[in-house]
Structure 1
Amino acid sequence: MAAPQTTAPDRTRGVVATLALTGTVAAIMQTLVTPLIGELPRILDTSPSNASWVITATLLSAAVFVPISGRLGDLFGKRRMLLACCAPLLLGSVICALTSSVLPMIAGRGLQGMGMGVVPLGISLLRDVLPPERLGSAIALVSASMGIGGGLGLPISAAVAQYASWRALFWGAAVLTVAVAVMIRLLVPAPTTRPAGGHFDAVGALGLGAGLVCLLLPVSKGGDWGWTDGTTVGLFAAAVVLLLAWGAWELRLAEPLVDLRVTARPRVLLTNAASVLVGFGMYAQALIVPQLLQLPEATGYGLGQSMLGMGLWMAPSGLMMMVVSPLGGRLSAARGPKFTLVAGALAISAGYGLSMLLIGSTWGVLVVTLVCNAGVGLAYGAMPALIMSAVPLSETASANSFNSLMRSLGTSVSAAVVGVVLAQLTTTVGGRVLPSETGFRVGLLIGCGVALAAAAVAATVPAPPVPVVQEPAAVQQPAAVQQPAVAQQPAGTAPVQDGSPA
């Protein structure tokens, strides 16, 4: 295997900044319509149920295409796939900006979801182009860019939606996408070695896509359809059958879409399991806090903020991730990414614990989101580092994309669980049925418990194998010419690393 290319020191900052901005733009795409949720039925002249597909389409599309883009990045070049992912982001933004009906809007949002593979691709590219001493902090920053984009994108989107045309949101997204593509083209170095190439598993891609749609669709829509409805139960059953068949197919191939033998390694498997739980823990407060901030004060627990006020109160939590990410990189360098992941999960649980005392004021909510997102910043930076230390260089993009999928699975389950809790524990104020204070507290306690479970799982991640260099026996020479024995690696061999970088 060819050694990874390294970038000259004066270009390193440009590469990291470009890839971090790319992840930030992808996160903005996801939160773009959040301020519009209540207005979408009127804007698109459709029912609330149909309008909800504007969000669901992005979730499903991203889940299907992120693993595919990761595998294509390993086969044909990560930089090339980064540029390719910008095309659906741009096209989707333009379609959404131009339309006034629901079906084109759903199609445009689906195209935006197709481009969400830029984050795991960017993280994987760092391993190819950066020197080892810069890798940890760079991975942490690019990983945290999703949270940074979400934190900054929400108030910006709210302000634009409140004081300008909603179409400006999508035109702005299109301009950002073009800027990112130009920066990738100019600042991210082209590879000096050709990608490995190989066979793309089209059958595996179709099978995984079908299985994920059948799994995530009832997870996201089960609250509307009913969890015991025939459609919901049937889709869950189909997901089980399809994913089992997909797994059997992947194990037969020499070049699968996702190498399940690699993902079954304890270091990768447990990191992915922790990623699902961290994704759940991260998203629970992101669902609860905006509602709590915007509920009227007449409820006795709502904080009475406008859409823009809510976004501004939540913005510092995104900036916190940007502040914490380089600290997480240094912590991983000093103590290892496993320690950082455990610390991040514990910080998330501590934030939820503080919420039991502080959710009665806007300043208290701000403290809770700062602590939770500090933990998310630590955890999100550590997970790719753990994954990449356990997989071959030729599989970093697909392995990181699969890890990103696990995080998305956690956020989807979180949305479903929190939605059920808030729908069941309600109160009536002024003739309106609203989530009760008990519902919010139960949702936050569930997030706390899941974050603690993430820390427990992360604590079981095994340490990377330590290369063993055996010292050959000294050759006895005549006393007049005998030299001190020098330990060296036998010629033509290399330390056994189990796919991990030294």
Structure 2
Amino acid sequence: MALSDKDTRWKTIMLALVAAEVASAFEVSMAFAALPTFYRLFQDPALVGWVITAYLLVAAAASAICGRIGDLYGRSRVLIGMLILAALGSLISALSSSLEGIVFGRAVQGVAAAVLPLCFGLVRENISQARIPLCIGIVAGTASTAAGIGFVLGGVCIDYLSWHWIFYISTAVAVLGLLLVIAFLPVSAGKASEEKVDILGGVLFAPAVAGILFALTKGSAWGWDDQRTLWLGGGSLVLLAFWAWYEARHSNPLIDVRLFANRQLAMSNLCYALIALGAMQFAQVLFVLLQQPTWTGVGLGMAATAAAALKLPSSLVAIVAAPWGGVVAGRHGGRRALLYGLFFLVTGWAALTLHHSTIWFVGFAVILNGIGTAIAFSAVPNLIVEAVPAQRVSEVTGLSQVIRTTFMAIGAQMIAFIFATQTISDPAQGPGTYPAGPAFQLAFLTITLLCVLSVFAALALPKRRPDASREAVAQPASHS
């Protein structure tokens, strides 16, 4: 695009990119509001967890490969494909009456996770240099703000319409984003390259992890010594081992496991994984706790809209906490910023472990979790910037994104499994099977312990002066 075009068309281009990112954010957040309803309808907390897990596993694979495919074939073409699939997946879930259909649709929706890194790359491609920082900030802010709106909108659908409308709205927003992208976004030129895309390495880990998680989900029903459990679990472990072997020997791997030989990268990503496994499950735990009927002895009986509104403060404090974490990382290094964030996380989850029966106290814990997560997730990219050469920052932050999303998927199923260990139902109170009090207690305790383990991993990071990395700290990490 000519420079004059970049100067005159940037507003319509940004309109298209913002609409695409709103569609992506809605796919992530709106489904959480429906989890208590799905518990009541399908009466199997472990299988309902796949509504979140299936999305996140596909999201991890999409994040791994779509940036590279966009470089080769054109980011705008890939973005159009992602929005088509997101709309199709939402429509499948909206029209489904079975849990299997909803989960399949959610898996297709998972490709929407690739929209954000593609939008960052498209900003660089289509916006003049002077406006790039502003426009990247707009896209990043849209991701956070739209996710918060999605929580509330999902609650409104549950309270006043039906759960199907969550996915009808997601379909409509994805179609709107698609039309605006087609209308206003210039066609990207692909880059000719003889280098083959490591698609196998980018996607093979997802079915391996899914197989392991599904074997664990069905193990109690099938029997832990049942051939189905053993073959599925064992075969998935073999597939995961093959993936690690394949990537370690690939000349240009999409997910370069050899990077973990660097102590700072290894410990930083371990912290990322532990936070994703535990603290990032807050929405899944929160919406169930707040909306669960009071007759269960642990639920707070809130409407879905009110429960979503209670989470909004965590999004608001993140607006301040994340930049503050970046300032701390710039002055004292990412290690100290990460430890500050983990302090808030440990405090919040330990408090919930001790007490979670009053709305105001849960709201206080929401704020602590929001502060801690925002600081920690601004600290990890800074730790990466400190440890790698400038030309490899995008590659390594992309790897970290895959790790975070994969472990969020594992954590979602871990919480669903914990919720299924002890359940409560009462036909006199209506249909539905819900997690019992001890299941919530175990979930809170598990997440608290994962946060404590994150502290030990952060303490194992080398003490490093930021020095020359300060300039890079200010730049948003993204796939290009």
TM-score (ref. length: structure 1): 0.73
1:29 maps to a residue whose letter is E
Aligned counterpart for 1:33 among listed residues 31, 34, 39: 31
- For the residue of structure 2 that corresponds to 1:304, the secondary structure is coil
Tell me what 1:473 maps to.
Answer: none
CA distance in 2, matches of 1:21, 1:332: 32
Tell me what 1:493 maps to.
Answer: none
CA distance in 2, matches of 1:403, 1:209: 15
Tell me what 2:476 maps to.
Answer: none
Tell me what 1:198 maps to.
Answer: 195
2:24 maps to a residue whose letter is A
Tell me what 2:108 maps to.
Answer: 111
CA distance in 1, matches of 2:91, 2:82: 15
CA distance in 2, matches of 1:230, 1:318: 46
Say yes or no: does 1:171 pair with 2:168. yes
CA distance in 1, matches of 2:247, 2:340: 35
Q: Which moved more, 1:218-227 or 1:404-413?
A: 218-227
1:453 maps to a residue whose letter is L
- For the residue of structure 1 that corresponds to 2:278, the secondary structure is helix
CA distance in 1, matches of 2:405, 2:239: 19
CA distance in 2, matches of 1:450, 1:10: 50
Say yes or no: does 1:445 pair with 2:442. no
Structure with the bigger RCO (C-alpha within 8 Å, sep 6+) is 2
- For the residue of structure 2 that corresponds to 1:33, the secondary structure is helix
Tell me what 1:214 maps to.
Answer: 211
CA distance in 2, matches of 1:184, 1:395: 30
Mapping 1:433-472, distance limit 5 Å: 435-462=435-462, 463=464
Where does structure 2 lack aligned partners over 5 or more consecutive residues?
Answer: 470-480
- Aligned pair count reads 461
CA distance in 2, matches of 1:385, 1:87: 34
CA distance in 2, matches of 1:126, 1:330: 25
Tell me what 1:280 maps to.
Answer: 277
How far did 1:350 drift? Answer: 1.4
1:31 maps to a residue whose letter is S
Say yes or no: does 1:350 pair with 2:353. no
CA distance in 2, matches of 1:24, 1:216: 30
Where does structure 1 lack aligned partners over 5 or more consecutive residues?
Answer: 469-502
Q: Which moved more, 1:367-376 or 1:255-264?
A: 255-264
Tell me what 1:333 maps to.
Answer: 330
Give the 3 Å change call, closer, same or farther, for CA 245–193 of structure 1 in structure 2. Answer: closer
Say yes or no: does 1:236 pair with 2:233. yes
How far did 1:112 drift? Answer: 0.7
Contact 1:148 1:321 in 2 (8 A): no
Contact 1:152 1:319 in 2 (8 A): no
Tell me what 2:249 maps to.
Answer: 252
Give the 3 Å change call, closer, same or farther, for CA 292–102 of structure 1 in structure 2. Answer: closer
Contact 1:353 1:445 in 2 (8 A): yes
Give the 3 Å change call, closer, same or farther, for CA 51–413 of structure 1 in structure 2. Answer: closer
CA distance in 2, matches of 1:332, 1:123: 23
% identical aligned pairs: 25
Say yes or no: does 1:305 pair with 2:306. no
How far did 1:379 drift? Answer: 1.7
Tell me what 1:488 maps to.
Answer: none
Which structure carries more helix by proportion?
A: 2
How far did 1:374 drift? Answer: 1.5
How far did 1:196 drift? Answer: 6.6
Q: Which moved more, 1:451-460 or 1:294-303?
A: 294-303
CA distance in 1, matches of 2:30, 2:170: 9
2:376 maps to a residue whose letter is A
Which structure has the greater CA radius of gyration? 1
Residue by residue over 1:30-59, the C-alpha shift from the partner in whole angstroms, topping out at 9 and shown as x without a partner, is: 33333434555999x999987765544323
How far did 1:271 drift? Answer: 1.7
Tell me what 2:258 maps to.
Answer: 261
- For the residue of structure 2 that corresponds to 1:241, the secondary structure is helix
How far did 1:266 drift? Answer: 2.4
1:65 maps to a residue whose letter is A
- For the residue of structure 2 that corresponds to 1:347, the secondary structure is helix
Tell me what 1:386 maps to.
Answer: 383
CA distance in 1, matches of 2:208, 2:157: 37
Residue by residue over 1:288-333, the C-alpha shift from the partner in whole angstroms, topping out at 9 and shown as x without a partner, is: 3323223344455432212333222223323333443333333333
1:349 maps to a residue whose letter is V
1:211 maps to a residue whose letter is A
How far did 1:202 drift? Answer: 3.6
Give the 3 Å change call, closer, same or farther, for CA 291–270 of structure 1 in structure 2. Answer: same
Residue by residue over 1:4-49, the C-alpha shift from the partner in whole angstroms, topping out at 9 and shown as x without a partner, is: x9xx999999999987775554342133333434555999x99998
Mapping 1:182-193, distance limit 5 Å: none
Give the 3 Å change call, closer, same or farther, for CA 464–117 of structure 1 in structure 2. Answer: farther
CA distance in 2, matches of 1:41, 1:373: 26
TM-score (ref. length: structure 2): 0.76
Say yes or no: does 1:62 pair with 2:59. yes
Mapping 1:30-109, distance limit 5 Å: 30-37=28-35, 54-73=51-70, 75-76=72-73, 81-98=78-95, 105-109=102-106
CA distance in 1, matches of 2:155, 2:72: 40
CA distance in 2, matches of 1:209, 1:17: 33
Give the 3 Å change call, closer, same or farther, for CA 139–160 of structure 1 in structure 2. Answer: same
CA distance in 1, matches of 2:222, 2:25: 28
Q: Give the root-mean-square deviation of aligned CA atoms.
A: 4.5
Q: Which moved more, 1:83-92 or 1:202-211?
A: 202-211
2:27 maps to a residue whose letter is M
CA distance in 2, matches of 1:348, 1:207: 32
2:361 maps to a residue whose letter is G
CA distance in 2, matches of 1:343, 1:18: 37
How far did 1:78 drift? Answer: 5.3
2:30 maps to a residue whose letter is L
CA distance in 1, matches of 2:267, 2:121: 20
How far did 1:230 drift? Answer: 4.0
- For the residue of structure 2 that corresponds to 1:445, the secondary structure is helix
